[in-house]
Amino acid sequence: MNNEIKLEFDAISANESFARVAVAAFVTPVNPTLEELADVKTAVSEAVTNAIIHGYDGRQGKVLLHCILRERTLHIEVKDTGKGIENVEKAMEPLFTTRPELDRSGMGFSFMEAFMDDLQVLSEPGAGTCVVMKKRFADMSSEPHEE
Amino acid sequence: MDERFHIIDDYLMIRMPEEIDHHQAAALSEQADRYILEEPVKHIVFDFEDTRFMDSSGVGVVIGRYKKIACFGGNVYAVNADRQIRRIIRISGLKKVLKLVEEDTDE
Q: What is the pLDDT of residue A64?
A: 98
Q: What is the pLDDT of residue A58?
A: 84
Predicted complex: ipTM over 0.85: yes
In chain A, which residues have their Cβ closer than 8 Å to the Cβ of B63? 103, 105
Q: What is the pLDDT of residue A143?
A: 58
Average pLDDT over residues A79-93: 96
| Helical (H) or strand (E) element with A8 | strand A2-10
Q: What is the pLDDT of residue A101?
A: 83
Give the number of beta-carbon pairs within 8 Å between A and B.
Answer: 69
Q: What is the pLDDT of residue B107?
A: 47
Q: How far is CA B1 from the centre of its chain?
A: 15
Which of B26, B59, B83 is closest, CB to CB, to A107?
B59
Query: Is the pLDDT assigned to residue B1 strictly greater than 60?
Result: no
Beta strand extents in chain B (DSSP E only)? 5-8, 11-15, 19-20, 43-47, 53-54, 76-79, 98-100
* CB-based contact, A91 to chain B, within 8 Å: no
Model confidence pLDDT, tens digit, residues B76-88: 999 999 999 999 9
Specify whether the CB–CB gap between B65 and B76 falls below 8 A: yes
* CB-based contact, A56 to chain B, within 8 Å: no
Average pLDDT over residues A35-59: 96
For A68-79, what is the HEC assignment?
EEECCEEEEEEE
Beta strand extents in A54-141 (DSSP E only)? 62-70, 73-80, 118-124, 128-136
Query: Is the pLDDT assigned to residue B90 strictly greater than 60?
Result: yes
Specify whether the CB–CB gap between A71 and A1 falls below 8 A: yes
Would the CB atoms of B55 and A45 count as touching at under 8 Å?
Answer: yes
Model confidence pLDDT, tens digit, residues B12-65: 999 999 999 999 999 999 999 999 999 999 999 999 999 999 999 999 999 999
* CB-based contact, B56 to chain A, within 8 Å: yes
Model confidence pLDDT, tens digit, residues A95-105: 999 988 888 89
Q: Which of the residues of A are catalytic? A: 46, 50, 104
pLDDT band at A134 (very low <50, low <70, confident <90, very high): very high
Question: From the CA of A65, how many Å to the nearest CA of chain B?
Answer: 18
**What angle do the packed helices A108-115 and B83-92 form, to 10 degrees?**
120
How many other CB atoms are there within 10 angstroms of residue A107's CB atom?
26
In DSSP terms, which residues pair with B14 in a beta bridge?
B5, B46
